[in-house]
Structure formats: structure tokens, C-alpha cells
Amino acid sequence: MSRWKIVAITVVVLVVAIIGYRIVHRPTGFQRGKGQDAPIPVTVVPATRENVPVYLTALGTVSALNTVTVVPQVAGQLVSVNFKEGKEIKKGDVIAQIDPRTFQAAVEQAQGKLAQDQALLSAAKYLASSYENLGKKQYVAAQTLQAQEQTVRQYQAAVLADKAALDSARVQLGYTTIRAPINGVAGLRLVDVGNIVGPTTSGGIVVLTQIHPISVLFNLPQQNIEAVRDGMTKGALQVAALDRSNNTVIATGALKVINNQIDTSTSTFQLKAEFANPTDTLWPGQFVNVRLQLGTLHDALVVPAQAVQRGPDGDYVFAVQPDNTVKMQPVTTGGEAGASQTVISKGLSAGVRVVTEGQFRLKQNSKVIPLAPGQVPPMPKTVAAKARSGGGHRG
């Protein structure tokens, strides 16, 4: 036998001997079968009765209350743009200017025509008055007086037409100064200074989006429509917009509109809520989680949401018995009570302690050490005794 084989056999014998020694002399607390029935530390919370808001939840889309594409109403050269992209604009603010000279000339021309016809009318009236006085003395024929009166009426009509033409010219001149029709945020500038713009300009000059207030559109299943309509008859229903984590409320508003028909393709109906949005938390096109409060359940039984487990036979909780063993208790839930609690409508009583942390180690009749939330599990007796005796100290 070679030297290397002898060395290998010797090493194997030593390893087997060490393993056997460890098995025979293993500490009592870790021998097979010992410790399997040791109590499991778990966090427990008693079921309580509270007044619970009733919510319906959905995914919503933020939509501007009003969106206006600003299109010039007269044609001409764009000589100035007076807004900053992305900035708030007030209704009536000047946002652009079209070259007004052609339209100013049309106003002056209409003013001249009006003055001319007013002068002719004045002369015709004077002449008609003279004919009327002379007609009384039979110096002028009646036909001549009637003809002059017709001339007066003709000039009166001409003056009215001139005034209308002047008003129209002034309106056209006013259109050269383009003003914001609503309060809103300006989008990107779509036309540069120097271009010829007009009513046919594609896309307009800018799009204004009103975000104060702002709307959120969302859909709910059709079976909820009666509950929502009943809630609206009792007053305004509060709507909350939550962040992507569905934990933090970022804005609160009120339900304004239920759409007038149900979408047959999805069996849902659409609703619109309105938010004041003073700090621009909501932005058009943004997705938010929506929580519609229908009312309040009084004296409802609630437990922490993490206490409810899902099994093949339905929902259940681990209920702690008086002897500190747990029972897999089937329950019927009645909806969410906010983001952290669940309503229990059947299967549980107030005061029963339910496990909220540590369920993954439990089974029916497991023995547990109930702990309050945040409480540290007790130190095992063998470890505590060794710590007191100083057995863990190396001299």
C-alpha cells in the first residue's frame, strides 16, 4: 500500500471519529427530538371594535379640468410671444401678438365711411326738414318731400351698416392680441415669432391646461353603482388620492359626477372627482390610487391586515387560545379599514388575540409565546443561566 493511501485512510478515520464524538456528546438542549415543541415567539394583537370608514378603491387617471388649444382667430404675422413655457398663466393675460397694422387700417377706413354717411344723413335730414316747412306752404310737391324722407331712411340704414362694419373691424383688430381664455399652465410653444399664423394653423400656438382645480377619472364595478348613488344623496362623498405605495394620501377632494352609462365591455361605470390641488401635487396624465369613502361602519370588528392569511379553504387567522396554543380560525372579511386594518364580519370575537407576525412557523395547536408589538422575545433559559454563571466568559 502506498504512502498516500495510508494518509488518506488515516484522515477519513479521524473525520469519522470526530463526527461520532460530536454526535454522542452533543449538548442536551440540541439532542434529536428536544426543542421541537419549544414555544414560538409571535406578535399578537387583540381584535377590537371601532367605527370604520367604508371605502371603494380603484386606479384613477388625473385629468385637467379644462384644456384649451389657443388658435389665432385672424391671419397675420406673429410678432411676439409673451408667455413662458410651463408657467402659470391667468385668464386675460396677453400670450401672443399678431401684426395689427392691416386691421388698424380697416378700423380707420370703417370710421371714415361712418363719418361720411353720418354727414350725408345730417344733410338729408336738414333738407327733409326744409321740404316739410315749404310743403306746408305748398311750395314743394308732396312727392318731393316723400322722396327726401326715403333718402333720410336710406342714409340711416347706411349709418347702421357702417357702425356694424366698424364694430367688426375693431373685433378683428382685437383678435391680433391673443389672450389666455382660462387660467392654466402653458405647454410648449408650437409656433415661433415671424411665422404667418391664422385660424388654420395646425396645433395652434400653445395648449393651456387648467390644474386648479383638477379632476381624477376612475372606474368601479357596476355592482357598486347603487351604493355610490345612495351615498351621493346623503351629501358629498370624499375621495382621496394616494401615492403609488397606496399608503400615503397626497390629495383629498369630492366626487362630482357619475357617468350616464355603464361600459358594457368592462361592466364598469366611470366617475369624476375634483381636487383643489393647491400645491400641484396632481398632474394631468398621472396615475393615482383612488379611495372613495361611502360611509362608516359603526362598532365593526377589526384586526391588523397582516393577521389575515389566505388558504385553500379561504381566509383565516391564527387565534391564540388561553393555554397559549394557536388555532387556525376561518374568518369572513368585510373589506378594508384604511390601509392597515381589515374588517372581520364573521368568525371572530372582540378581544381574541390574533397573530400578526411569525405566522410562517405556526401550525394548528402550535405553542407560542405571545408578545406585544415591538416587544423583544425572552432569552432561552439555558442561555440565560450560562450568561449568569459566566460560562460564556473566556479566562
Which ranges in the chain are annotated with CATH 1.10.287.470?
A: 100-175
Instruction: Work out the mean pLDDT of the chain and round it to a whole number.
Output: 86
Band (pLDDT 50/70/90 cuts) for residue 318 is very high
Q: pLDDT of 79-108, one tens digit each?
A: 999 999 999 999 999 999 999 999 999 999
pTM (global) more than 0.85: no
CATH number given to 100-175 = 1.10.287.470
**Residue 297 confidence (pLDDT):** 82
Q: pLDDT of 131-186, one tens digit each?
A: 677 766 666 677 777 887 888 899 999 999 999 999 999 999 999 999 999 999 99
Of residues 363 and 3, which shows the higher confidence score?
363
Written as one string, the DSSP assignment of 238-289 is: EEEEE-TTS-SEEEEEEEEEEEEEEETTTTEEEEEEEE--TT--S-TT-EEE
Of residues 31 and 55, which shows the higher confidence score?
55
CATH of 40-54+299-388, one of 2.40.30.10, 2.30.30.50, 2.40.420.20, 3.40.50.300: 2.40.420.20
How many whole angstroms separate alpha carbon 242 and alpha carbon 86?
A: 25
Q: With 0-12 CB in 10 A as exposed, 13-18 as middle and 19+ as buried, what is 88?
A: middle
Average pLDDT over residues 4-12: 67
Contacts 24+ apart (CB under 8 A), 305-311: 305/336, 305/339, 305/340, 305/341, 305/342, 306/356, 306/357, 307/45, 307/342, 307/354, 307/355, 307/356, 308/333, 308/342, 309/359
Which ranges in the chain are annotated with CATH 2.40.420.20?
A: 40-54+299-388
How many whole angstroms separate alpha carbon 117 and alpha carbon 133?
A: 24
**Residue 111 confidence (pLDDT):** 96
User: What's the one-letter identity of residue 202?
Assistant: S
Q: With 0-12 CB in 10 A as exposed, 13-18 as middle and 19+ as buried, what is 135?
A: middle
**Residue 385 confidence (pLDDT):** 52
